[in-house]
């Protein structure tokens, strides 16, 4: 298939691009490089530097495509709270213009990177796809809005979509060639690993009084390569004319922030003290996925779900 990957110079987009190329697909990448890295884009892909909301860019990349893999967007929760307009533009308005361009060029399938942030504070865990969606921050609200837009474009124009609600993505290519390089970096695993690499003595964890076994937040981590594989399966499902849907992607296992810091220290072979800081507003105590639907319908079987493997691969990338 011929696929347009938006955000293909970013962390997950670059690894998904690589996976699609390995599976024999033809890939075009569009990325404005506002947060991405040109050198992370596989040389076998065609790269276009541009914004997804720019019709002249879409005119250049969409004709002849079978589907869009939509990962472009802004992803920082705190930034979304202070600059909501920017987030609604990047995550809703620009992608809406891209959908119009897809209609115009007859591209009828899309796989969208959604997030566990659409659920907000869950009433129970593990979280199934039918759980209520009450995002507690602007970022989650923009991702849910675009999911809704996909429903409307489905009924109006027949666009078929798969929305993948990722839980906490981490890890890197096992050979250390591609990995997470966000700036700013707010995710716990890369932040602990960076502290260890730089020889810092202490790492601050947000909150130690949550109703969890050790008092720190619990999250479900998914290896970025398993995620890339879920994208390939989703794309190929749409490619054979099957219907779309919503799928959670996680391993169904929760790890506390203290367990994460400890596992990072083990991977690095170094010690680090944990300092308990104040809670960060809007952080649910526990987020764990039920990904049974992805297993049943997409045939997705995570190969690297173990936290040690995820962190070991990330450490290799950080010390490369």
Ligand X SMILES: NC(=O)c1ccc[n+]([C@@H]2O[C@H](COP(=O)([O-])OP(=O)(O)OC[C@H]3O[C@@H](n4cnc5c(N)ncnc54)[C@H](O)[C@@H]3O)[C@@H](O)[C@H]2O)c1
The CA dihedral of 298, 302, 307, 311, to the nearest 10 degrees, is -100
Nearer to ligand X, 158 or 186 (CB): 186
DSSP string, 77-91: HHHHHH-HHHHHIII
Nearer to ligand X, 53 or 126 (CB): 53
Output the smallest distance, CB 144 to ligand X, in A: 12
Rg (C-alpha) for the chain, rounded Å, is 19
Burial class (CB in 10 A: 0-12, 13-18, 19+), 27: buried
- 311 in contact with ligand X (CB under 6 A): no
Cα–Cα distance, 90 to 10 (Å, whole number):
15
Q: Contact with ligand X (CB under 6 A): which of 182, 191, 262, 279? A: 182
The dihedral built from the CA positions of residue 149, 155, 156 and 157, taken in this order, carries a sign that is: positive
Nearer to ligand X, 185 or 259 (CB): 185
Task: Number of residues interacting with ligand X: please give it, by CB under 6 A.
Answer: 30
Selection from 85, 82, 91, 112 nearest residue 35 by Cα:
91
Would strands 168-170 and 273-277 be described as parallel, antiparallel, or unpaired?
Answer: unpaired
Cα–Cα distance, 224 to 309 (Å, whole number):
11
Q: Contact with ligand X (CB under 6 A): which of 3, 4, 5, 10? A: 10
Q: Which residue is nearest to ligand X (CB)?
A: 10
Output the smallest distance, CB 147 to ligand X, in A: 12
Cα–Cα distance, 43 to 130 (Å, whole number):
40
**Distance separating the N- and C-terminal Cα atoms of the chain:** 33
Q: Contact with ligand X (CB under 6 A): which of 9, 205, 261, 267? A: 9
Residue pair 301/228 in contact (Cβ under 8 Å)? The answer is no
**Residue owning tokens 């009924």:** 155
- 13 in contact with ligand X (CB under 6 A): yes
Binding mask 43-82 toward ligand X (x if CB under 6 A, else -) reads: --------xxx-----------------xxxxx-------
Output the smallest distance, CB 235 to ligand X, in A: 15
Nearer to ligand X, 12 or 289 (CB): 12
Is 139 tagged catalytic? yes
Site for ligand X in 237-266 (CB under 6 A): none
What are residue 221's DSSP bridge partners?
168
- 35 in contact with ligand X (CB under 6 A): yes
- 12 in contact with ligand X (CB under 6 A): yes
Reduced to 3 states (helix: H, G, I; strand: E, B; else coil), residue 113 is strand
Of 119, 139, 153, 166, the active-site residue reads 139
Output the smallest distance, CB 211 to ligand X, in A: 24
Output the smallest distance, CB 94 to ligand X, in A: 5
Q: Which parts of this chain interact with ligand X (CB under 6 A)?
A: 6-7, 9-13, 30-36, 51-53, 71-75, 90, 94, 113, 115, 166, 168-169, 182
Q: Which of the residues are catalytic? A: 139
């Amino acid at each position: 298939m011929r696929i347009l990957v938006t955000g293909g110079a970013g962390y997950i987009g670059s690894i998904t691009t690589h996976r699609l190329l390995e599976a024999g697909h033809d890939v075009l990448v569009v990325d404005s490089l506002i947060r991405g890295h040109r050198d992370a884009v596989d040389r076998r892909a065609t790269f276009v530097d541009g914004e997804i909301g720019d019709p002249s860019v879409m005119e250049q990349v969409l004709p002849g495509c079978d589907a869009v893999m939509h990962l472009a967007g802004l992803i920082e929760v705190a930034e979304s709270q202070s600059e909501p307009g920017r987030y609604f533009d990047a995550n809703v308005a620009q992608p809406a213009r891209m959908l119009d361009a897809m209609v115009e060029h007859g591209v009828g399938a899309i796989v969208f990177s959604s997030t566990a942030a659409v659920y907000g504070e869950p009433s129970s865990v593990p979280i199934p796809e039918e759980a209520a969606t009450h995002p507690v921050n602007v970022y989650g609200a923009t991702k849910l809005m675009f999911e809704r837009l996909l429903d409307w474009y489905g009924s109006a124009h027949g666009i078929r979509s798969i929305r993948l609600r990722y839980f906490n993505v981490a890890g890197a290519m096992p050979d250390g060639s591609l990995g997470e390089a966000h700036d700013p970096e707010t995710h716990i695993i890369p932040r602990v690993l960076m502290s260890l690499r730089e020889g810092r003595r202490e790492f601050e964890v947000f909150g130690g009084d949550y109703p969890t076994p050790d008092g720190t937040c619990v999250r479900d981590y998914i290896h970025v390569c398993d995620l890339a594989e879920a994208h390939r399966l989703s794309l190929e499902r749409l490619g054979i004319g099957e219907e779309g849907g919503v799928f959670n992607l996680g391993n169904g296992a929760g790890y506390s922030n203290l367990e994460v810091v400890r596992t990072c220290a083990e991977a690095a072979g170094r010690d680090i003290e944990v300092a308990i800081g104040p809670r960060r507003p809007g952080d649910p105590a526990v987020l764990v996925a039920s990904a049974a639907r992805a297993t049943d319908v997409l045939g997705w079987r995570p190969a690297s779900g173990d936290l040690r493997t995820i962190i070991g691969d990330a450490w290799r990338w950080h010390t490369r």
